[in-house]
Amino acid sequence: DTGVSQDPRHKITKRGQNVTFRCDPISEHNRLYWYRQTLGQGPEFLTYFQNEAQLEKSRLLSDRFSAERPKGSFSTLEIQRTEQGDSAMYLCASSLNWASNTEAFFGQGTRLTVV
């Protein structure tokens, strides 16, 4: 396993279109996180899953955003009716067992540009 994989790496879309990103975590990791990073800022938490259950969503996650992890493995993040303000890097991370504070591994991200 080579780490957390995100697809696509880059996405350019027109305003109003829907987009979907995929994250494949490290295979045995039960926790999966989505973050958003805008230019010049640190990543901001969006949501996380433990196995297939979505346990927390940030207020940043408007109703145009939806995330799923149907089988507790890969996850998808969908943005409906994209707006220019959605342009950002979307980062996925996974971890095995937070109680013992093992490392959260980050993917390389999907860069979204809304034109």
Partner 1 sequence: GEDVEQSLFLSVREGDSSVINCTYTDSSSTYLYWYKQEPGAGLQLLTYIFSNMDMKQDQRLTVLLNKKDKHLSLRIADTQTGDSAIYFCAESSTGGGNKLTFGTGTQLKVEL
Q: What residue ranges bind partner 1 (CB under 8 A)?
A: 4, 31, 33, 35, 40-45, 48, 50, 55-56, 91, 93, 98, 101, 103-109
Residue 101 CB, shortest distance to partner 1, in Å, is 6
Alpha helices (runs of H) in the chain, residue ranges in sequence order: none
Nearer to partner 1, 52 or 80 (CB): 52
Nearer to partner 1, 5 or 87 (CB): 5
Residue 106 tokens read as 């980050």
Residue 55 CB, shortest distance to partner 1, in Å, is 6
Nearest to 4 by CA among 112, 82, 109: 109
Nearer to partner 1, 82 or 94 (CB): 94
Residue 46 contacts residue 23 (beta carbons within 8 Å): no
Residue 32 CB, shortest distance to partner 1, in Å, is 10
How many other C-beta atoms are found inside a 10 Å radius of the C-beta of residue 12? 11
Q: Distance between CA atoms of 73 and 101, rounded to whole angstroms?
A: 20
- Beta bridge pairs of residue 10: 111
Nearer to partner 1, 15 or 60 (CB): 60
Residue 76 CB, shortest distance to partner 1, in Å, is 19
